[in-house]
Amino acid sequence: MNVVTEAVAGSRVNDFVIKIATVNGTGSASANTLLMKTIFRMGVPVVGKNLFPSNIQGLPTWYEIRVTKDAYQARTGAVDLAVAMNADTYAQDLEKTAPGGYLIYDSSWPRPQLLSRDDVNVIGVPLSAMVNERFDTARIRVLMKNMAYVGAVAALVNLDMEVIRGLVTETFGTKKHLIDGNMEAIDLGYRYVLENFTCPLPIRVEHSDKTDGYIMIDGNTAAGLGCVYAGATFGAWYPITPSTSLMDGYKMFCEKYRVDPETGEHNYCIIQAEDELASIGMVIGASWNGARAFTPTSGPGISLMSEFIGFAYYGEVPAVLFNVQRTGPSTGLPTRTQQSDILTCAYASHGDTKHILLFPSDPKECFEMAVEAFELAEWFQTPVFVVSDIDIGMNDWMVPKLEWDDNWQPNRGKVLSAEQLENIDKFYRYLDVDGDGVPYRTLPGEHPKGAYFTRGSGHDKFGLYTENSDKYKDVLDRIATKIDNAKSRVPAPIIKKAAKKTRWGVISVGSSNGATVEAIDRLATEDIHLDYLRVRGFPFSEDVDKFVDEHDAVFIVEQNRDGQLRSLILNETTAEKKKLKSVLWYSGKVPDCRFVVNGIKAHIAEESA
């Protein structure tokens, strides 16, 4: 295999990777966020990836910060500066550091000689010793040691201490003693490194202006915010990693914007259900009753919800589901990322079903697609899935600021009002009045003429129970047409043509976008040119058929073992099987561009062999 290597060569301003190894539950997240946000505020694009265990306290965890002047969104796979704060993983962290790179360790205790490496610059800082001398209790010492490594890193890579101070001040607000304590700890690390080592290193940060107009936000928070702007009033959920923070976000924004200041009443309702069987039932009940309702979950939750999803599909009840995918099957690696529920979501439930899917590739799209999901669910009267993953959902991404148009109003779809019902002769729930496959619905309590019966058992176009084959097929076929019509309503794919005409194309989806975009750039420097299509919705737009048709070979980049997006494209478009070549990543770790580069090169080599 042709491996792309990453060597630290000379001065790399605003283009390197810091990886911090800590122990889960030691409060290092705030220190790592502080480092990343400092770089962001200095105007330099950053990527932050959290690699954490399924554990509350004690197991190793890593946080990776890529400083990327070119604003790439993926990892690089290399480590230029390792901050080895976890003795248990010290050997591993040293080994993973790129030749010519740097490693900071806590020199309060002796380091075993056998773990030294000649090609890595090892920087010992007596973090614990300094912090223990200055601070008292055990918990404070642990937290302040984190701040001390922030100071050490700041000195080494030239971070602006005024920016750091500004962030610390914002974090602790009026609590001056906390600001002072944290800044003091940061200063301990900062000053020690300045006094004992040549600073800054060749890998360093310099002020830039490339983050103006951007924010740093995680996809779950952005999706929760999108639910608020969509006008969702009901959310039911069962706690599951990694979707929990989506409901946390929705709740936080609702508490801020949806509580009546005079009465204290809530213009929203969140129910923590007993399980996912119930959370989807609640969503269906609320949606049937006319509220915009949603549930955030992950793959295991989708499995549990599947029976009800089929009910909502066939009974034509809107529902919005967020699937923040994690590594399966079964419990799998619950804190690691994958795109392995694509097929499960597309065809969830028994019987003939097919669902509308939206695929965000970053938090901004999580916000926008959350809104779009409710529009589509209510218009098409069917479950709609926003298919995200841990990488998008739980990592902070740099994205353009979210925007909103105050003239926007939700389109609640074909719901007959009491007045409309008063003026019609008779209402039939499943009649295709407009010829677009979408029937009219009514809400309970609105008008006596609006009553109908929602059932998962066979029904005819009038909404009556039937076991008559023709009448049953009539409804089932109309629903198929309805869902097919959604292909022109889901977000269109993003297509980026190569600089030169090419017979090769690449298709990716969701969080595979970052690695794919970077790989395409890399390959272009090697004179391998690729057109690119990023799928954003299912049923697939006809652009997907066309894209495959226009190329001799199309490489499908996705994060699962079985090539699920490829299968879905084969199943749902006119694409020729032999044209579609899988490029797969399914380790659970957030990918970098090398698997795409190597995978595409291997396919091309095979083709020309």
Partner 1 sequence: MTSIAKPRIEQHLLRNKLGLTVRDYEGGMSTLCAGCGHDSVTAAMVRAFYELNLEPHTAAKISGIGCSSKTTAYFLGQSHGVNAVHGRMPSVATGAAAANGQLHYIGVSGDGDSLSIGLGQFCHAIRRNVNMLYVLENNGVYGLTKGQFSAAADFGSKSKKGEPNPHTPIDPVKLAITLGATFVARSFSGDKSQLVPLIKAAVMHKGFALIDVISPCVTFNDHVGSTKSYAHTFEYYHPAIHADYIEPSAEIKAEYEKGAVMEVELHDGSKIALKKADDDLNPRDRGDVLAYLSRHEALNEVVTGLLFVDDEKLDMNGRNKLPDAPLNNLPYEKLTPGAAALAELQKDYC
Residues 268-327 contacting partner 1, CB under 8 A: 268-271, 273-275, 277-291, 293, 307-308, 311, 315
Residue 444 interacts with partner 1 (CB under 8 A): yes or no? yes
Nearer to partner 1, 401 or 496 (CB): 401
Nearer to partner 1, 109 or 404 (CB): 404
Nearer to partner 1, 62 or 250 (CB): 250
What is the Cβ-side half-sphere exposure of residue 514, based on CA atoms within 13 angstroms? 27
Query: Which 489-528 positions form the footprint of partner 1 (CB under 8 A)?
Result: none
Cβ neighbours, 10 Å, residue 229: 18
Task: Name which position in 22, 32, 35, 41 contacts partner 1 (CB under 8 A).
Answer: 41
Q: How far is the CB of 412 from partner 1 (least distance, A)?
A: 9
Q: How far is the CB of 393 from partner 1 (least distance, A)?
A: 15
Residue 447 interacts with partner 1 (CB under 8 A): yes or no? yes
Mention every residue, 6+ apart, whose C-beta is less than 8 A from residue 408.
Answer: none
Residue 351 interacts with partner 1 (CB under 8 A): yes or no? no
Whole-angstrom distance, CA of residue 15 vs CA of residue 204: 8
> Peptide bond preceding 383: is omega within 30 degrees of 0, i.e. cis?
no
x/- binding map, residues 362-401, to partner 1, per CB under 8 A?
Answer: ---------------------------------------x
Residue 454 interacts with partner 1 (CB under 8 A): yes or no? yes
Residue 33 interacts with partner 1 (CB under 8 A): yes or no? no
Contact call for residues 507 and 531 (beta carbons, < 8 A): no
Q: How far is the CB of 276 from partner 1 (least distance, A)?
A: 10
321 - beta bridge partners? 295, 385
Mention every residue, 6+ apart, whose C-beta is less than 8 A from residue 524.
Answer: 498, 499, 530
Residue 466 interacts with partner 1 (CB under 8 A): yes or no? yes
Specify the 3-state DSSP secondary structure of 474: helix
Nearer to partner 1, 140 or 402 (CB): 402
- Angle between helix axes 469-485 and 299-315 (nearest 10 degrees) is 120
Task: Name which position in 445, 550, 576, 587 contacts partner 1 (CB under 8 A).
Answer: 445
CB burial of 499-508 (b: ≥16 within 10 Å; e: otherwise) equals eeebebbbbb
Query: Which 46-75 positions form the footprint of partner 1 (CB under 8 A)?
Result: none
Whole-angstrom distance, CA of residue 102 vs CA of residue 122: 6
Residue 439 interacts with partner 1 (CB under 8 A): yes or no? no
Q: How far is the CB of 235 from partner 1 (least distance, A)?
A: 10
Candidates 591, 219, 589, 212; CA nearest to 397 is 219
Region binding partner 1 by CB under 8 A among candidate stretches 80-88, 145-153, 181-189, 436-444: 436-444
The pair phi, psi for residue 53, each rounded to 5°, is -85, 165
x/- binding map, residues 399-418, to partner 1, per CB under 8 A?
Answer: --xxxxxx--xx--------
Query: Which 164-203 positions form the footprint of partner 1 (CB under 8 A)?
Result: none
> In the sheet where 494-496 sits, what is the strand order?
494-496, 531-535, 504-509, 553-558, 580-584
Region binding partner 1 by CB under 8 A among candidate stretches 296-304, 384-392, 449-457, 483-491: 449-457
Residue 257 interacts with partner 1 (CB under 8 A): yes or no? yes
Candidates 498, 499, 507; CA nearest to 555 is 507
Binding residues with partner 1: total (CB under 8 A) = 77
CB burial of 328-349 (b: ≥16 within 10 Å; e: otherwise) equals beeebbbbbbbbbbbbbbbbbb
Whole-angstrom distance, CA of residue 438 vs CA of residue 354: 15
Query: Which 209-238 positions form the footprint of partner 1 (CB under 8 A)?
Result: 214-217, 225, 228-229, 231, 233-234, 236
Token pair 């701040």 is found at 147
Nearer to partner 1, 90 or 311 (CB): 311
Residue 162 interacts with partner 1 (CB under 8 A): yes or no? no
